[in-house]
């Protein structure tokens, strides 16, 4: 049940993002002042915002932005964190100590602080948010892959391979990585949920995708002044964030349960 619910929620977000690449009901950045702050209707299913822009179109366009940022950030975290975690787990001693101390140092800098620093230096953009969230997510992948690698390295077949002088990169590729894939899948689902929340939070603070382009967090920020008169402005992006995050968490739980049953 959890897996099906998670697939439906994530599937809806992905479908909205994919469709938004080629089509939205209206131009998500085109303002029509004469139609501002309208409620739900046949012409505007989710209503319109303070500039007369179609909210459904902006939610769809925001899905494209949010999922792009989340996927790119998690890919960055995994591509850096997994090899470092495997390296630390396979080579105890100074290598392990150096990697984990560097990991603790990165862990001390949250995505918000990194985003503020990068924005001050390079200016605000979607890719600055990707970089900040991606770097902040590296420690989680390092720790998970290191623990999984240590468990695999203790197995007899790996000890036999090492005695036979099989190169370390072949052991990592043939034995370690395939055996920690399920654990990494859980970490990816959790990281995607956290990345979506981080992107929404950074956009809410004005550090994400610049206006007038749509982002769920920026839509929530803009809706604050209209909560009593036009609550639909906060309702739809809020539901989009909550539903997508819940979907990824449910998928992660389903993968973890399936792994535990084996």
The tokens describing 46, both together, are 């989710």
Residue spans of the domains in the chain: they are 2-17+47-261
The whole-number average pLDDT for the span 145-150 is 93
Q: Tens digit of pLDDT for each residue in 189-218?
A: 999 999 999 999 888 888 877 777 788 999
Q: Give the pLDDT confidence score for residue 73 in this predicted structure.
A: 95
Say if domain 2-17+47-261 classifies as CATH 2.40.50.150. Answer: no
Q: Tens digit of pLDDT for each residue in 206-258?
A: 887 777 778 899 999 989 889 888 899 999 999 999 999 999 999 888 877 77
Confidence class for position 113, pLDDT limits 50, 70, 90: confident
Q: Determine if the pTM surpasses 0.85.
A: yes
77 contact partners, CB below 8 Å, separation of at least 6 = 133, 134, 135, 136, 137, 138, 140, 141, 191
């Amino acid at each position: 049940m959890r897996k099906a619910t998670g697939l439906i929620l994530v599937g809806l977000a992905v479908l909205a993002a994919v469709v938004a690449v080629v089509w939205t009901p209206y131009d998500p950045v085109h303002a029509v002042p004469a139609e501002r702050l309208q409620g739900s209707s046949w012409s505007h299913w989710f209503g319109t915002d303070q500039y007369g822009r179609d909210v459904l179109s902006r939610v769809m366009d925001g899905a494209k932005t949010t999922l792009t940022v989340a996927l790119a950030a998690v890919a960055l975290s995994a591509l850096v964190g997994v090899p470092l975690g495997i390296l630390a787990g396979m080579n105890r001693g100074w290598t392990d100590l150096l990697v984990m101390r560097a990991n603790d140092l990165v862990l001390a800098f949250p995505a918000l602080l990194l985003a503020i620093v990068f924005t001050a230096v390079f200016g605000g953009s979607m890719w600055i948010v990707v970089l900040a969230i991606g770097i902040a997510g590296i420690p989680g992948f390092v720790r998970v892959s290191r623990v999984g690698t240590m468990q695999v390295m203790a197995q007899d077949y790996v000890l036999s391979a090492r005695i036979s002088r099989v190169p370390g990169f072949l052991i990592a590729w043939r034995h370690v990585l395939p055996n920690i894939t399920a654990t990494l899948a859980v970490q990816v689902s959790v990281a995607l949920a956290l990345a979506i929340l981080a992107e929404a939070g950074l956009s809410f603070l004005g550090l994400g995708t610049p206006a007038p382009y749509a982002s769920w967090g920026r839509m929530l920020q803009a809706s604050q002044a209209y909560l009593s008169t036009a609550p639909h402005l906060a309702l739809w992006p809020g539901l989009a964030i909550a539903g997508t995050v819940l979907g990824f968490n449910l998928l992660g739980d389903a993968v973890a349960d399936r792994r535990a049953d084996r």
